[in-house]
């Protein structure tokens, strides 16, 4: 039992979760060791959360097995990598969609894009209308918008929906993604991933970056920062009192007292552990919808050849296909070798295949992956930012930030990206009094200010005197 924090001037802060959001929050607060005593409780044996690494092939190789990389606009991730002495690896983003007559790519023409050229051109005008009336289109799912504007099934199901699923990891909830989000990806000068092409939809191969070994990044952050990381320490219960602050109990029944708590974990975990949440907290956090996905890491090249338009000489790193019996449902695979140079040097081709939404399990082809080619597998819980996410959660989350000294961060507060996760952690730290760490970076600052305004309804504080 930890005694009252009234004996010290430092604020005792508990961060729940050592993923990207929690680690960023803890690091930012730990820059002020005279003001904060920061503890991070992590359920897993290592930090990183979904930004995880694992050993394969009898421990001979390490892979990043969930988060792989990001875009040049992921300034906060890049700045943190630089700060802790890591260098990302440049990667050219080459994507193969569909197969046979439904095949198309972002790097070469195809029969499908030629046949849909008029619709592709019309889609550009639709994007402009969506952008112009963004406050309205935030609440309209992309599939309904495309149907309203009379786009064909092939254009919707073979081009737009697979592309959106890849951009945001939205799984089989992709038809319900807010249309305003898709317009941003194409039109926002700072955030867009691809330049819209009126003939092929995509005709560029953008340069992205791949993360170094993720476990090493978050382990080094913890070792070189002034916060205490407690791995293998799941949170069981949080009681917010009127006089004794916040009482946090771990899975072994140990209780500690804190002044503030930052939930850097899923909304599901918050609802499971928070004793007596306010009516608004319970209502809003329940609006974050989660789905169960399944991932197999394997070396089954025959499976990849059967299911995708895979040509090794094209050096594609992403593969997306729709199920013939249900074209609105999607399966995705990655060639990890293109993201992780050490695998290429070892002459390996290691793939990951994602089977999306367990409710669609009847469509999955996971049983067709040769068992002797499987290296590892995992089940995952992912949130989907459908239009409901933006109607019933995102605009209102600001009203529960700080309730009884409780703060919320994580990618679910806005978009499912590693960059949002890091920004959300820095935003929670900023609200607790830690200065924003990267004011000199124009793009990072602009993105952070936008996030802070959306998720917290606040402007950035004036920097404190050094």
Read off the CATH number of the domain in which 324 is found: 3.90.660
Say how far apart CA 261 and CA 57 lie, in whole Å: 40
Mean pLDDT value across residues 198-222: 92
CB 308 within 8 A of CB 166: no
**Is residue 8 over pLDDT 60?**
no
Residue 66 is given by DSSP the state S
189 and 220 assigned to the same domain: no
More confident residue, 288 or 188: 288
**Is residue 1 over pLDDT 50?**
no
Range list of H helices, 133-278:
134-137, 142-148, 153-154, 161-168, 179-187, 214-223, 267-273
Question: Would you state the pLDDT for residue 34?
Answer: 96
**Is residue 312 over pLDDT 90?**
no
**Is residue 283 over pLDDT 50?**
yes
278 and 412 assigned to the same domain: yes
Q: What are phi and psi of 151, to 5 degrees?
A: -80, 150
Residues 6+ apart with CB under 8 A from 53: 62, 63, 64, 65, 213, 214, 215, 216
Identify the domain boundary among 366, 383, 400. Answer: 383
**Is residue 234 over pLDDT 50?**
yes
Question: Which pLDDT tens digit goes with each residue over 378-392?
Answer: 999 989 878 899 999
**Is residue 155 over pLDDT 70?**
yes
More confident residue, 165 or 223: 223
114 and 25 assigned to the same domain: no
237 and 147 assigned to the same domain: no
Say how far apart CA 293 and CA 330 lie, in whole Å: 12
Mean pLDDT value across residues 55-68: 87
Identify the domain boundary among 335, 362, 383. Answer: 383
Question: Would you state the pLDDT for residue 191?
Answer: 66
Report if residue 465 sits inside a domain.
no
**Is residue 411 over pLDDT 90?**
yes
Read off the CATH number of the domain in which 409 is found: 3.50.50.60
300 and 346 assigned to the same domain: yes
283 and 394 assigned to the same domain: yes
Residues 6+ apart with CB under 8 A from 361: 355
Q: Rounded mean pLDDT of the chain?
A: 91
Q: How far is CA 252 from CA 232, 255, 263, in A?
A: 11, 9, 19
Q: How many CB atoms lie within 10 A of CB 144?
A: 13
Say how far apart CA 395 and CA 393 lie, in whole Å: 6
Report if residue 464 sits inside a domain.
no
Question: Would you state the pLDDT for residue 14?
Answer: 99
CB 240 within 8 A of CB 260: no
Q: β-strand 318-323 against 326-335: which pairing, if any? A: antiparallel
Report if residue 297 sits inside a domain.
yes
Range of the domain at 119: 95-204+290-383
177 and 119 assigned to the same domain: yes
Report if residue 37 sits inside a domain.
yes
Residues 6+ apart with CB under 8 A from 24: 76, 80, 421, 422, 423, 424, 425, 426, 429
Residues in the chain: 466
Q: Looking at the 3D structure of the chain, how many domains does it have?
A: 2
Question: Would you state the pLDDT for residue 170?
Answer: 58
CB 171 within 8 A of CB 357: yes
Report if residue 331 sits inside a domain.
yes
361 and 379 assigned to the same domain: yes
Question: Which pLDDT tens digit goes with each residue over 157-203?
Answer: 999 988 888 876 656 677 888 898 888 878 877 667 777 889 999 88
Identify the domain boundary among 383, 410, 440. Answer: 383
Say how far apart CA 186 and CA 196 lie, in whole Å: 6
Q: What are phi and psi of 48, to 5 degrees?
A: 125, -25
Distance of CA 209 to the CA centre of its chain: 15
Question: Would you state the pLDDT for residue 172?
Answer: 67
**Burial class of residue 311, CB neighbours in 10 A (0-12, 13-18, 19+):** exposed
Question: Would you state the pLDDT for residue 174?
Answer: 79
Question: Which pLDDT tens digit goes with each residue over 423-443?
Answer: 999 999 999 999 999 999 999
Q: What is the SS3 assignment for 69-100? A: EECCCCHHHHHHHHHCCCCCEEEECCEEECCH
Element (H, E) at 282: helix 279-285
**Is residue 464 over pLDDT 70?**
no
Evaluated on CA atoms 269, 271, 272, 276, the torsion sign reads: positive
**Nearest one of 360, 409, 413 to 385, comparing CA atoms:** 413
**Is residue 4 over pLDDT 70?**
no
CB 364 within 8 A of CB 294: yes
Question: Would you state the pLDDT for residue 418?
Answer: 94
Question: Which pLDDT tens digit goes with each residue over 245-266?
Answer: 999 999 999 999 999 999 999 9
Say how far apart CA 295 and CA 308 lie, in whole Å: 17
341 and 374 assigned to the same domain: yes
324 and 199 assigned to the same domain: yes
Confidence of residue 314 (pLDDT cuts 50, 70, 90): confident
Question: Would you state the pLDDT for residue 164?
Answer: 81
Three-class SS of residue 424? helix
**Burial class of residue 7, CB neighbours in 10 A (0-12, 13-18, 19+):** exposed
420 and 280 assigned to the same domain: yes
Question: Would you state the pLDDT for residue 6?
Answer: 45
278 and 321 assigned to the same domain: no
CB 421 within 8 A of CB 383: no
């Amino acid at each position: 039992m930890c005694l009252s924090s009234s004996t010290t001037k430092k604020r005792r802060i508990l961060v729940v979760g050592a993923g990207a959001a929690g680690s960023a929050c803890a690091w930012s607060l730990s820059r002020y060791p005279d003001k904060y005593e920061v503890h991070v409780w992590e359920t897993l044996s290592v930090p990183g959360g979904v930004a995880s690494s694992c050993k394969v092939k009898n421990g001979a190789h390490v892979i990043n097995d969930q988060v792989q990389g990001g875009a040049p606009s992921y300034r906060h991730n890049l700045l943190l990598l630089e700060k802790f002495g890591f260098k990302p690896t440049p990667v050219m983003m080459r994507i193969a969609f569909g197969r046979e007559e439904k095949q198309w790519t972002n790097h070469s023409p195809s029969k499908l894009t030629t046949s849909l050229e008029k619709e592709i051109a019309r889609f550009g005008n639709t994007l402009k209308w969506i952008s112009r009336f963004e406050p309205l289109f935030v609440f309209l799912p992309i599939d309904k918008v495309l149907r309203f504007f009379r786009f064909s099934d092939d254009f919707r199901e073979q081009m737009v929906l697979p592309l959106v699923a890849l951009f945001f990891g939205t799984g089989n909830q992709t038809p319900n993604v807010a249309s305003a989000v898709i317009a941003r990806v194409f039109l926002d000068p700072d955030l867009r991933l691809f330049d819209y092409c009126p003939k092929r939809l995509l005709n560029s191969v953008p340069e992205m970056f791949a993360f170094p070994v993720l476990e090493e990044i978050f382990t080094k952050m913890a070792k070189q920062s002034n916060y205490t990381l407690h791995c293998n320490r799941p949170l069981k219960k949080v009681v917010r009192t009127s006089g004794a602050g916040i009482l946090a109990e771990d899975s072994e029944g140990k209780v500690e007292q804190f002044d503030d708590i930052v939930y850097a974990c899923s909304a599901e975990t918050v609802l499971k552990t928070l004793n007596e949440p306010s009516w608004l907290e319970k209502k809003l956090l329940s609006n974050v919808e989660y789905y169960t996905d399944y991932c197999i890491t394997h070396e089954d090249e025959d499976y990849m050849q059967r299911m995708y338009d895979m040509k090794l000489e094209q050096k594609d790193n992403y593969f997306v296909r729709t199920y013939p019996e249900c074209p609105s449902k999607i399966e995705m695979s990655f060639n990890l070798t293109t993201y992780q140079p050490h695998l290429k040097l070892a002459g390996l081709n290691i793939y990951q295949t994602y089977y999306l939404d367990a409710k669609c399990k009847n469509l999955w082809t996971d049983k067709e992956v040769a068992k002797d080619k499987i290296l590892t597998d995992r089940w995952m819980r992912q949130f989907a930012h459908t239009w409901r996410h933006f109607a019933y959660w995102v605009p209102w989350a600001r009203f529960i930030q700080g309730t009884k000294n409780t703060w919320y961060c994580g990618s679910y507060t806005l978009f499912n990206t590693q960059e949002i996760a890091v920004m959300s952690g820095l935003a929670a730290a900023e609200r607790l009094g830690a200065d924003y760490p990267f004011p000199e970076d124009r793009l990072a600052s602009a993105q952070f200010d936008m996030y802070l305004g959306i998720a917290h309804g606040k402007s950035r504080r004036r920097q404190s005197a050094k």
